[in-house]
Chain A
């Protein structure tokens, strides 16, 4: 399994043709206390860059974009009951949704962990 990162602070785990998407630990730290996550319905299809989810922190609502194109096959229902999971475990249990990848070539421009760490350090 490979993990990719975007400059919008999302992570993507790829296993076969399924991509699991979440926001990074850096992103949750920036957002602060998360009180609600609006997730896409199963079957929704996204083009890369579409609005895919909304994270509501105490202070603001923030959009999460689809990092690649695909069809939603599962959303993380655990976040409905416990949105703070994104704060406590952003890069594992706090995942947002799983996509069936439409175009694997879109992964090519994304960062690996080392590149993302460097990117965050530069902010």
Chain B
């Protein structure tokens, strides 16, 4: 038996590093694989069971491989905001304390270098930094290099390499989080706060990447095992591996950087235009603006779409998409969707074939399987938008 597209095989050139919860995962029976340069848990009891648990209860994910950055200046945040608005297409100046926004780094051609979350701390969190940012693990060192090159000298960027990050996701996440910290019950989607738990400062945002209600918790690496134990001691919570994280985010229609997003694709094509607020579209002043404006006016060459698939054979990343004899695109994420009970995929197709319900075919091992452009998310989002 040989895995033909195991995540472990994609990495593996550099020696893998251990994250703060390494021993904790192993003690919980995790199967560890190489991912983004780290040993990470792909599963504990099994991907399907973990996926369903998260949709029904609450799952705890270790996402400490992600890069946590802060940005400070000596002008009360004005320099940071101005500098970041040259790099990010999103409205940073208008980001209020305790609010979070999805954004991305674009290159000069408007290609996507990474997608990320940017937040405005409050209550003196992160030593009074003006901005807190979370970037993808596999791209964090490239992101840091890009930002050092492009940020003005009056901005100080700090990579919090010793900070861990947990995600607690699922319909019972609110209940579980409140069992530890009752005040978190007041948070709504994309809102954050600084909390103290057993003397440990926690920056908690109501967000995540599964489509479910939940939280992301930034915690010092030396306290993360204590917090993970306290969460998993609750009846609602089980640890969940990377395998289920991937199937959950795919069902939620959320793109995964390095697969569905890359420097070869654009924000508008990726259907991520919501991250570029009106003022930024009009005023520009960020790297990649010309591509955004051109595609808003003329349409992108290709689009990221959801694909529903007939039958049970999964179409995976790299499978080519056809309309009759014409090659029109490629699957960028695909697999069996446990909550849908069928295979689903995300892919890029050229614009004329991107309308909902367009009938297409995907080639899997020389065979054509029937597919159609489908609305995303595949499973409805259940974010907590109101208190």
Binding site for B on A (CB under 8 A): 8-10, 23, 27, 30-33, 35-36, 38, 54-64, 83
Q: Which of A8, A32, A36, A83 contacts B46 (CB 8 A)?
A: A32
Inter-chain CA distance A31–B2, complex, in Å, is 10
Q: Which residues of B contact A54 (CB under 8 A)?
A: 365
Write the chain A residue with the least CB distance to B247.
A58
Whether A61 pairs with B5 at a CB distance below 8 angstroms is yes
Instruction: Please tell me if B42 contacts chain A, counting CB pairs below 8 Å.
Output: yes
Summarize A's interface: helix, strand, loop or mixed.
Answer: strand
Inter-chain CA distance A57–B1, complex, in Å, is 12
Instruction: Please tell me if B206 contacts chain A, counting CB pairs below 8 Å.
Output: no
Which of B83-91, B293-301, B311-319 lies at the interface? B311-319
Inter-chain CA distance A77–B48, complex, in Å, is 23
Number of interchain pairs (Cβ within 8 Å): 68
With contacts A32-B47, A36-B313, A38-B365 taken as known, whether A59 is within 8 angstroms of B2 at the C-beta atoms is no
> Contact flags (1/0) for B335-367 with A, using CB distance below 8 Å?
110100001000000000000000000000100
Which residues of B245-293 are within 8 A (CB) of A?
246-247
Kindly list the 5 A-B residue pairs having the minimum CB-CB distance in the complex, ordered from nearest: A35-B336, A33-B48, A58-B47, A60-B3, A59-B243
Whether B243 pairs with A32 at a CB distance below 8 angstroms is yes
With contacts A38-B313, A54-B365 taken as known, whether A27 is within 8 angstroms of B48 at the C-beta atoms is no
Q: Give the interface size bracket for B toward A.
A: 20 to 34
Chain A's nearest CB lies how many Å from the CB of B371? 15
Inter-chain CA distance A38–B366, complex, in Å, is 13
Write the chain A residue with the least CB distance to B342.
A35
Instruction: Please tell me if B136 contacts chain A, counting CB pairs below 8 Å.
Output: no
Inter-chain CA distance A61–B3, complex, in Å, is 6
Inter-chain CA distance A32–B335, complex, in Å, is 14
Q: Which residues of B contact A10 (CB under 8 A)?
A: 1
Whether A62 pairs with B336 at a CB distance below 8 angstroms is no
Instruction: Please tell me if B6 contacts chain A, counting CB pairs below 8 Å.
Output: yes
Instruction: Please tell me if B4 contacts chain A, counting CB pairs below 8 Å.
Output: yes
Write the chain B residue with the least CB distance to A51.
B365
**Residue in A35, A55, A59, A63 whose Cβ sees the most chain B Cβ within 10 Å:** A59
Whether B4 pairs with A60 at a CB distance below 8 angstroms is yes
17 cross-chain CB contacts under 8 A: A10-B1, A23-B1, A27-B1, A32-B43, A32-B48, A33-B336, A35-B312, A38-B365, A55-B1, A56-B314, A58-B47, A58-B48, A58-B336, A58-B338, A61-B316, A63-B2, A63-B4
Binding site for A on B (CB under 8 A): 1-7, 42-43, 46-48, 51, 243, 246-247, 312-314, 316, 335-336, 338, 343, 365
Whether B335 pairs with A33 at a CB distance below 8 angstroms is no
Whether A62 pairs with B1 at a CB distance below 8 angstroms is yes
Whether A56 pairs with B313 at a CB distance below 8 angstroms is yes
Whether A58 pairs with B365 at a CB distance below 8 angstroms is no
Q: Which of A36, A38, A56, A59 contacts B42 (CB 8 A)?
A: A59
Whether A58 pairs with B1 at a CB distance below 8 angstroms is no
With contacts A59-B243, A83-B312 taken as known, whether A8 is within 8 angstroms of B48 at the C-beta atoms is no
Q: Which residues of A contact B3 (CB under 8 A)?
A: 60-62
Inter-chain CA distance A61–B247, complex, in Å, is 15
Q: Which of A36, A62, A63 contacts B312 (CB 8 A)?
A: A36
Inter-chain CA distance A45–B6, complex, in Å, is 29
Inter-chain CA distance A31–B48, complex, in Å, is 12
Inter-chain CA distance A60–B4, complex, in Å, is 7
Inter-chain CA distance A58–B242, complex, in Å, is 12
Q: Which residues of A contact B48 (CB under 8 A)?
A: 32-33, 58
Write the chain A residue with the least CB distance to B4.
A61
Q: Which of B6, B247, B338, B343 contacts A60 (CB 8 A)?
A: B6
Write the chain A residue with the least CB distance to B336.
A35
Q: Which residues of A contact B47 (CB under 8 A)?
A: 32-33, 57-59
Q: Which residues of B contact A58 (CB under 8 A)?
A: 47-48, 51, 243, 247, 335-336, 338
Q: Which residues of B contact A8 (CB under 8 A)?
A: 1-2
Q: Which residues of B contact A38 (CB under 8 A)?
A: 313, 365
